[in-house]
Amino acid sequence: MSFLSVTREDMHSRGWDQLDFLYISGDAYVDHPSFGHAVITRLLESEGYRVGIIAQPDCKTGNDFITLGRPKYAVLISSGVIDSMVNHYTASKKRRSEDAYSPGGRAGYRPDRAVIAYSNKIREVFKGVPVIIGGIEASLRRFAHYDYWDNRVRRSILQDSRADLLIYGMGEKPVIEIARQLREGIAVEAIRNVRGTAYMAGLDKLSEDIREFIKGNGGNDGKYSLLKSFEEVAEDKEAYARSFKVQYDEQDAITGRTLVQKHSDRYVVQNPPAQAMTVKEMDRVYSLPYERTYHPSYEKYGGIPAIKEVEFSITSHRGCYGGCSFCALNFHQGRTIQNRSRQSIISEAVKLTWLPGFKGYIHDVGGPTANFRHEACTKQKDKGVCKERQCLYPEPCKNLIVDHSEYLGLLRRVREIPGVKKVFIRSGIRYDYLMLDKNDEFFMELCKHHISGQLKVAPEHVVDRVLDRMGKPGRRVYDKFVKRFYEINKKIKKEQYIVPYMISSHPGSDLKAAVELAEYLRDLGHMPEQVQDFYPTPATLSTCMFYTGLDPRDMKKVYVPKAPKEKAMQRALLQYRRPENYELVYEALKITGRDDLIGFGPKCLIRPRRAAKKRAEAAGGSQKAIAAGKAVKGKNHKRVQAERKKLTRTRH
């Protein structure tokens, strides 16, 4: 085994004078199956192609891009595991100072909107070479989309990148088919029939049947669906919401139609999604000869921090039918579960025990949702996923298969491997699905063997009207889960805790909902160390709500907290004990008329101002804590009253 070519010397050592495919990555080169660039390049290598990688090239000049020469067939481009804008900026649009996917964890190794920047640079240095984009950034921006950082609707990334093809979703099947057609001499502009791809072309370059469909005023003919144009969705939020719903419903390989969206005088065409990978195909992908670590050239910088989370983890499956509104999995991996075989996973676990640095702990055996190891129902195999309902929301479907036995058997086998001390589950347990299982065997063993004192779960919120917009189960389900968790731990005589993950300022959450969430955390006795503001990333239902103020599922209006001050108050309420949050919490409670939560009683969130000031001074508090105790008078009081009126108007 060895790393793929990253220098001319690497190519010469293999006897190569030219690559077949050049892969440009926004992440540092980590040869591990958790990284898309490793999977795609290793897969192409296994098909007999000569492949090289240029990681994080400098876009200021073209020098880095030409180090491996002009490839024979195409340049493949991805911004990395994470959208470059999400990677660079926080939810409050502040520049991040660290990048776990870069040498030494330092930021600044890739440009903003990396796919566009890399693609246009390749067009400069290798004129006429086919450019194929993929990965999460390209996948989620394939249509006209709301961009949080520009605060406007942007065109398809196909137009701005000038790419010839876009591979969306998990790209193994499409990239093999594209490579085959290119090798057979088919021009890239003629490759129009590959599932899991999108392209952009003028009307005269489209197939005859698509042209006829468009000329017939589009609509929906069972095979194609014409979306509202870029110009329409950029100007009309209702049109945007309706168009997004169509896109959202057509991401299934069995039922999905070809989608067409006009951009000025050109058209974006999305072919139906790629067929789900078989167990055999999944096994092959994860059996490729990965080095399972970063390229040795990064050692002098301190390595690549991102490897720490996945180095001793195993991906057991792909896809998720959970249907969370804020998640882009529907658009990328899809709702259909794609499995690896038990033996494939066992073999990988054994390999982990041979790795340097392995201390007996496997950090994860899971996927997007760890306990979704098989299809949601038998109907999905032939009829695809349902368009008009989710598997778990608002109530579990009667056809849902609830069974943890296969996953439990897998975990038992991994635990028995010599050298394995403990197997953790970190990729997330869907607690509502777990509570549907009448057999407590998995729940019992989860608590007994797969938790290291704390189980992180994601209720996201506890107020039902917010959970409804999130596509999550009501609070009663979570409360039932928490109760059962502690009952089981008492039974097995273990002291373990639940750490809930919450989101502030999600569409549908007003200040009153944020106060209710703070009260829940008070009763739980839990104060989150970190709070995640809702982040409007491309291609999610929640982002559509954020931009349009409409829920595309029912076109009802949704309250959206956008003002920085209100978002800061919602976030502060989740950490109401922190002295630096006192002012924001105090103001939020005044605005919502919850003065009953300011006082000395056990149900109060904060103390009155004078008492808070004395307490801070007595404790030798910081200047922030002392300042937090100053009285609000004059214009400050008027602002509170104005905010309260505004809140009332917004709700009605």
Which run of H or E residues covers position 557? Answer: strand 556-557
Chain-centroid distance, C-alpha 440: 30
Chain-centroid distance, C-alpha 427: 12
- What's the DSSP call for residue 505? S
Chain-centroid distance, C-alpha 135: 12
Annotated binding residues: 320, 324, 327
Alpha carbon of 308 to those of 33, 105, 170, 304, 642: distances in Å? 14, 12, 23, 8, 49
Q: Show the 3-state SS of 37-105.
A: HHHHHHHHHHCCCCEEEEECCCCCCCCHHHCCCCCCCEEEEECCCCCHHHHHECCCCCECCECCCCHHH
Q: Is the peptide bond before 394 cis (omega within 30 degrees of 0)?
A: yes
How is 438-487 classified by DSSP, letter by letter?
A: S--HHHHHHHHHS-SSEEEEEEE-S-HHHHHHHT---HHHHHHHHHHHHH
| CB distance 270 to 259 below 8 Å | yes
- Gap between the Cα atoms of 470 and 241, Å rounded: 16
Using alpha carbons only, give the angle 249, 257, 472 rounded to the nearest 5 degrees. 15
288: left (phi over 0), alpha (psi -120 to 50) or beta: beta
Q: Are strands 224-226 and 258-263 parallel, antiparallel or unpaired?
A: parallel
Specify the 3-state DSSP secondary structure of 125.
helix
- Gap between the Cα atoms of 376 and 252, Å rounded: 14
Q: Show the 3-state SS of 234-272.
A: HHCHHHHHHHHHHHHHCCCCCCCCEEEEEECCEEEEECC
Annotated binding residues for [4Fe-4S] cluster: 320, 324, 327
- Gap between the Cα atoms of 462 and 518, Å rounded: 10
Count of CB atoms within 10 A of residue 299's CB?
12
Specify the 3-state DSSP secondary structure of 145.
strand
